[in-house]
Amino acid sequence: MRILGIETSCDETAAAVVESHSNSSNRGTILSNIVQTQLEIHAEYGGVVPELASRAHISNVSSVVQAALDQAKIKPADLDGIAVTTGPGLIGGLLVGVATAKGLALATKKPLIGVHHMEGHLMSPFLDNNSANDCSVGFPFVALLVSGGHTLLLHARGFGDYVLLGQTKDDAVGEAFDKGARMLGLEYPGGPAIAKLAQNGNNAAIRFPRILLDKKLFDFSFSGLKTSLRTHLIKNPPAELNPQSMSDIAASYQEAIAETLTIKAINACHHTNCKNLLVAGGVGANRRLRELLIKSAGRDIQVTFPAMDVCTDNGAMIALAGLRRLESGQSDSWDLNARARWPLTQLASVA
């Protein structure tokens, strides 16, 4: 099966074609993967402006879809289905993607499959492009999904069968990176900017708070950490700091986040008796987080990440989640609609 995946839930207009693996139900091979970022549009505002995002999606989505089909050397008529992110995300962007997918499905008479954005991220480690990634993990596993809009700790018992162990009570972890970066005078997105500045920093220079670390608490909270950074910067204004001190702050801030995520994810594995931990979403690209998780997991727990090029938003992960649903007989009717909010635990499970 070959599926086109369309992703427009935030600030990337993305489309990809993914083919099912003959020997594994979860994996898929990337035939094309086109991501057109809107970074330049939003950079001056320090975050995504929803109205501008929708307008950019509508301008770009057709050429991005065409480029994905061209790169995969496939005609629309040869697709087996059209998958699209229907939520959660920015409603204007989602509507552009859903309308585009409906038009294509109508013209080609192919099945239409609405995909939950975070289920897309969850499937991203199972993508390969015939080279590096060889994910052999099977359900059940613990999933740590960390992005700009979500911080979720799940017991993934099967595809579509997710038990929520914990989520953030305030900011998503990607937001904690983005807002922290803004306070430090760094560009958007803040995660990569903080990670870069942290490279030469001492991560033990400042002890920022690690919150809700009780073994049985799987919820997250990052607002206290953010306040603590603000308080530190009021006492130590960036304009008066040398580059080394700035790097130390970035490294210490990143360390507090990475350590919190690591402790909770490993605790969740013990709690559920799972030997596999899967980490996905934009923040999953953070190298220090990867390092700490692998170190803490030791030999008992195997940690799996997506390849770097499918960690942040992309159409391939949406195509793969759609493919998995279509293979099990699920597709959507013409009344498929965009959903700004959509709890992952409401998804239908798939045998």
Contact positions toward ligand KG4, by CB under 6 A?
A: 10, 147-149, 174, 177-178, 189-192, 195, 281-283, 285-286, 312-313
| Cβ distance to Zn ion smaller for residue 4 or 152 | 152
| Cβ distance to Zn ion smaller for residue 30 or 184 | 30
CB atoms closer than 10 angstroms to residue 74: 17
Query: What string marks each residue from 161 to 190 as x (binds Zn ion by CB under 5 A) or -?
Result: ------------------------------
CB atoms closer than 10 angstroms to residue 345: 12
Smallest distance from Zn ion to CB 193, Å? 18
Residue span binding Zn ion (CB under 5 A) among the ranges 24-32, 143-151, 176-184, 335-343 = 143-151
201 near 57, Cβ under 8 Å? no
**DSSP SS3 for 26:** coil
Smallest distance from Zn ion to CB 281, Å? 6
| Cβ distance to ligand KG4 smaller for residue 111 or 281 | 281
Distance from C-alpha of 140 to C-alpha of 143, rounded to nearest angstrom: 9
One DSSP character per residue, 102-144 reads HHHHHHHT--EEEEEHHHHHHHGGGEE-SSS------SSEEEE
| Cβ distance to ligand KG4 smaller for residue 10 or 319 | 10
118 near 344, Cβ under 8 Å? yes
Smallest distance from ligand KG4 to CB 149, Å? 4
Smallest distance from Zn ion to CB 242, Å? 36
Reference 275, options 243, 297, 301; nearest CA is: 301
The residue length of the chain stands at 351
**Using CB distances below 5 to 8 A depending on partner kind, what does residue 283 bind out of ligand KG4, Zn ion, none?**
ligand KG4
**Using CB distances below 5 to 8 A depending on partner kind, what does residue 262 bind out of ligand KG4, Zn ion, none?**
none
User: Does residue 314 interact with Zn ion by CB under 5 A?
Assistant: no
Type of residue numbered 181: A
User: Does residue 313 interact with Zn ion by CB under 5 A?
Assistant: yes
